[in-house]
Amino acid sequence: WPPASQKISVGVNKQPVSTSVSRSLLTQMGTSEEEELLLHVLLMVPEGADFVPGDAGLHGSCNVYLNCKLLSTEEATRSAVVWGTRQPIFRFSQVTPMSLTSKQLERLKNNVMVVEAWNKRPGPGRDQLLGLVKLPLHQFYLSFKDPKISALLLQAQYPVVAVDSSL
């Protein structure tokens, strides 16, 4: 299927962390009562390209919206509908807090975040799935799995970011 988006980025930004919390990260993987580390996860989808509705041929336009479940939430997040175009400008961003524990870290390993692209059609229940985008989360696992590196990342000025610019 055609590319669902030109640029999608997922970032992890951290809350200011005390030295004791970052030090405890060095030992938390082996403890039964681990401290949780608060991170903020940012999903950004500025635009999309080349959406083709299945029943309208190459010249039809779409009413595109995005649907996504962020990492630790059960509820899906939905963008606004961008009406009448095959090149939507979404300017969609969603921030959600995430508690980083060893269990949550393991969920990032070899995992993806799925963003669905839908075509809004007249009438209830008639929306059409245009495609799926799978954003790899493994880079975040690699960044935070080593407690020493993780502690340094948490003290760094910049967030940990993964970008997929040609989906």
Q: Is the pLDDT of residue 15 over 60?
A: no
Helix (H, G, I), strand (E, B) or coil at 105: helix
For the stretch 41-70, pLDDT in tens is 888 999 998 888 876 555 678 999 999 987
∠ CA 6-97-116 to the nearest 5 degrees?
35
Q: Report the pLDDT value the prediction gives residue 34, as an integer from 0 to 100.
A: 59
Residues pairing with 68 in the sheet: 77, 115
Residue-level pLDDT at 60: 76
Mean pLDDT, range 137-152, rounded to an integer: 90
Q: Burial level of 100, CB count in 10 A (0-12/13-18/19+)? A: buried
Q: Which residue has the higher pLDDT, 134 or 7?
A: 134
Q: What is the DSSP letter of 2?
A: -
Q: What is the pTM of this model?
A: 0.73
Residue 120 pLDDT grade (very low, low, confident, very high; cuts 50, 70, 90): very high
Percentage of residues in the chain having pLDDT higher than 70 = 73
- Give the residue carrying structure tokens 């635009």: 47
Angle between helices 147-155 and 19-28 (to 10 degrees): 160
Query: Helix H segments across the chain?
Result: 19-28, 102-108, 138-145, 147-155
Geometric angle at alpha carbon 18, from 27 and 74, rounded to 5°? 75
* Mean pLDDT, the chain, integer: 78
Q: Does residue 154 surpass a pLDDT of 60? A: yes
**pLDDT > 90 in the chain, percent:** 25
Confidence at residue 23, expressed as pLDDT on a 0 to 100 scale: 42
